[in-house]
Chains A and B, each alone.
Chain A
Amino acid sequence: MMKKLTEIRWHGRGGQGAKTASLLLADVAFSTGLYIQGFPEYGPERMGAPITAYNRLSNEPIRVHSNIYEPDYVVVVDETLLDSVDVTAGLKPEGGIVINSAKDPAELRAKLKGYTGKVYTIDAKKISIECIGRNMPNTPMLAAAVKASGFMDEKLFLENMEASFKHKFASKPEVIAGNMKALEVSLKEVQCNG
């Protein structure tokens, strides 16, 4: 079997749940039988400060314990980071970047320092407010990351997420339907340029 490794870097702001999203992605990849790593880069975190989290997803055991410098995919949970963080640093041109934004991906490309790979956008704020009732960009971003990276089947993703939500929200089952809807809508509404 060929070794297949997907490396993902998440950029967010403290409190937005980029770390949680990376752990959820690790969870769902794990449930499909993959070897996984999900880890944040820790520092003196505070609400609103830029943070980074990482995923490695592989069909073979993962031994390396460093950060990711040449990711296949980058996920940006907060669009304002495009002005302050070099989000495409080391990003492979055959991969892509997923940005939480209401804008068209072609419009955002101008801010990406000549990045030539695929640019995806998803309006995670709108979708989460419509489906979940408040701005929780995590769930839509997770679906967009799965859609863009294509590392797992979408149907399988939805099935596994439903099981995971049932476990996670066992004490408040009323939020499961909204989160599932957010995933489904997000898979459909991801925009791609390139």
Chain B
Amino acid sequence: MAIRERLSGNEAVSYAIRQVNPDVMPAFPITPSTEIPQFISQYVANGQIDTIFVPVESEHSAMSASIGSEAAGARTITATSSCGLALMWEMLYVAASCRLPIVLACINRALSGPININNDHSDSMGARDAGWIQIYAENAQEAYDNYIMSFRIGEHKDVLLPVMACQDGFITSHAVDNITLLEDEKVKAFVGEYKPEKCLLNPAEALSVGPYDTVHYYMEHKKQQAVAMHNAKKVILDVAKEYEELTGRKYGFIEKYKMEDAEYAMVIIGSSAGTAKDAVDELRAQGVKAGLIKVRVYRPFPGEEIAAALKNVKAVAIMDKAESFSDIGGPLGADVRASMFGVCNNVKAINFVYGLGGRDVKVDDIKCAFGKLEEVVKTDAIPTGYQYLGVRE
């Protein structure tokens, strides 16, 4: 029997960590992810898990220690947010290129500056090219489910990449919500023992991790990383299928909501997808054929799947909770528009930047974005650049 509970997003991830009982967790606390290392420290102190908790002196060290530990052959996790992730930057790339399936709970928070503790996606979006798999959650349930699946995805022999399991800081991390949990033994059986094919603590096979890579090999190694990221697509779906058999909860790269006959669509990531579903229902009640695509897996990017889902709409709003100062829009806008090229030639697209630094995202904000789609279709305008949603002028 599944367990009916109410937990915050941080509690949900911590609950999953207790069930997985990883070998090592190096971490440095930063709002709003702080509760995760706090809860894990308590589990360790209470003897509920035998994870080695390493209280490091910075996030750079947290990722460095994670790399050392995972390379040694230990299942390793960490958690961070915002500037903490930024301080890990150099080592994120090292973790990915060493092909170490570390699982990082990223509790999304705006990057400084100006300094701000609230939610947007600028931290993990900035890390999108580091070679990590990125999975985003809409609510505490998805944060829990994604987290458990992350181990199976990253540790798969065809993948061997680190995974960032992301959720919106405060909005889901600190909000108590209904959730259905698995029993400990089911999680343990699903995740399984970590038995890396190659690791430093194998006396039978000497190994070097992270050495200098010469001109003769660097590019081949990068290609192998890219192949692994491509391979992750199949593994993500296979793991989701198995998880669905266990839980009844279905996951894919994207979630389509009322897209079958949609004329106006929105592509969005994270907690605001829930708010947008309510907006879609309200618009439908007013006769507007609105639909929604929630991007769950951002790296590898499901470009083909998104373009296929958008083929028949009149217009799409692509929602970025991160500013990239490119002067042409946000990261999701760039990826979705690139994926649409040649496939969705008659679909008008507006890229919106919204919800920065915790700016509240209301049902009315989402409806406003849909309203702008109707307007460009009616006037046959060609949208250029990108727009800010919910900002004071």
Could you tell me which A residues sit within 8 Å of B by CB distance? 23, 26-27, 30, 35-40, 42-44, 61-67, 69
Q: Can you list, as one digit per residue, whether each of B83-121 has a CB less than 8 Å from chain A (1) or not (0)?
A: 000000000000000000000000000000000011000
**In this complex, which of A30, A38, A39, A44 has the most chain B Cβ atoms within 10 angstroms of its Cβ?**
A39
Q: For the complex, is B351 an interface residue (Cβ under 8 Å from A)? A: no
6 examples of A-B residue contacts, CB within 8 angstroms: A23-B176, A37-B176, A39-B171, A39-B175, A65-B168, A66-B275
**In this complex, which of B6, B118, B172, B278 has the most chain A Cβ atoms within 10 angstroms of its Cβ?**
B6
Q: A30-B6, A63-B278 are in contact. Are A38 and B362 (CB under 8 A)?
A: no
Partner of B363, one of A38, A40, A61, A64: A64
| B117 nearest in chain A by CB position | A42
Partner of B178, one of A36, A39, A65: A36
Cα separation A62 to B363 with both chains bound (whole Å): 13
Partner of A36, one of B171, B177, B360: B177
**In this complex, which of A36, A42, A65 has the most chain B Cβ atoms within 10 angstroms of its Cβ?**
A65
Partner of A65, one of B6, B32, B176, B274: B274
Q: For the complex, is B301 an interface residue (Cβ under 8 Å from A)? A: no
Cα separation A69 to B361 with both chains bound (whole Å): 12
Please tell me if the beta carbons of B278 and A40 are within 8 angstroms of each other in the complex. no
Please tell me if the beta carbons of B174 and A63 are within 8 angstroms of each other in the complex. no
Residues of A within 8 A of B358 (CB): 42
**In this complex, which of A23, A36, A42, A43 has the most chain B Cβ atoms within 10 angstroms of its Cβ?**
A42
Cα separation A35 to B176 with both chains bound (whole Å): 10
Please tell me if the beta carbons of A66 and B363 are within 8 angstroms of each other in the complex. yes
Residues of B within 8 A of A40 (CB): 174
Q: For the complex, is B277 an interface residue (Cβ under 8 Å from A)? A: yes
Partner of B176, one of A38, A43, A61, A67: A38
Cα separation A43 to B171 with both chains bound (whole Å): 12
Q: For the complex, is B225 an interface residue (Cβ under 8 Å from A)? A: no
Q: For the complex, is B271 an interface residue (Cβ under 8 Å from A)? A: yes
Residues of B within 8 A of A69 (CB): 362
Residues of A within 8 A of B118 (CB): 42-43
Please tell me if the beta carbons of B175 and A61 are within 8 angstroms of each other in the complex. no
Instruction: List 6 tightest A-B contacts by C-beta distance, closest first.
Output: A39-B175, A63-B274, A65-B271, A38-B176, A30-B6, A66-B362
B222 to chain A, nearest CB (A): 38
6 other A-B residue contacts (CB within 8 Å) besides A30-B178, A65-B171, A65-B175 = A27-B176, A36-B176, A42-B174, A43-B118, A63-B274, A66-B361
B167 to chain A, nearest CB (A): 11
Please tell me if the beta carbons of A38 and B175 are within 8 angstroms of each other in the complex. yes
Residues of B within 8 A of A27 (CB): 6, 176
Please tell me if the beta carbons of A64 and B6 are within 8 angstroms of each other in the complex. no
Q: A36-B6, A63-B275, A64-B275 are in contact. Are A26 and B361 (CB under 8 A)?
A: no
* Total chain B interface residues with beta-carbon distance under 8 A: 25
Q: A36-B6, A63-B275 are in contact. Are A42 and B176 (CB under 8 A)?
A: no
Cα separation A65 to B118 with both chains bound (whole Å): 14
Q: Can you list, as one digit per residue, whether each of B169-185 has a CB less than 8 Å from chain A (1) or not (0)?
A: 01110111110000000
Residues of B within 8 A of A42 (CB): 32, 117-118, 170, 174, 358
**In this complex, which of B174, B178, B363 has the most chain A Cβ atoms within 10 angstroms of its Cβ?**
B178
Q: For the complex, is B272 an interface residue (Cβ under 8 Å from A)? A: yes
Q: A26-B6, A42-B32 are in contact. Are A64 and B178 (CB under 8 A)?
A: no
Cα separation A23 to B170 with both chains bound (whole Å): 14
Q: A27-B6, A30-B6, A42-B32 are in contact. Are A65 and B363 (CB under 8 A)?
A: no
Residues of A within 8 A of B277 (CB): 63
Please tell me if the beta carbons of A65 and B174 are within 8 angstroms of each other in the complex. no
A33 to chain B, nearest CB (A): 9
Residues of A within 8 A of B171 (CB): 39, 65
Q: Can you list, as one digit per residue, whether each of B324-362 has a CB less than 8 Å from chain A (1) or not (0)?
A: 000000000000000000000000000000000010111
Residues of B within 8 A of A38 (CB): 175-176
| A40 nearest in chain B by CB position | B174
Cα separation A63 to B280 with both chains bound (whole Å): 12
Residues of B within 8 A of A62 (CB): 177-178
Q: Can you list, as one digit per residue, whether each of B20-33 has a CB less than 8 Å from chain A (1) or not (0)?
A: 00000000000010
Contacting A at CB under 8 A, from B150-194, are 168, 170-172, 174-178
A74 to chain B, nearest CB (A): 18
| A39 nearest in chain B by CB position | B175
Residues of B within 8 A of A64 (CB): 274-275, 278, 363
Cα separation A27 to B5 with both chains bound (whole Å): 10
Cα separation A146 to B258 with both chains bound (whole Å): 37
Cα separation A171 to B171 with both chains bound (whole Å): 32
Residues of B within 8 A of A44 (CB): 117
Cα separation A26 to B140 with both chains bound (whole Å): 15
Cα separation A125 to B94 with both chains bound (whole Å): 57
Contacting A at CB under 8 A, from B263-302, are 271-272, 274-275, 277-278
Q: A63-B275, A64-B274, A64-B278 are in contact. Are A39 and B174 (CB under 8 A)?
A: yes
Cα separation A63 to B366 with both chains bound (whole Å): 14
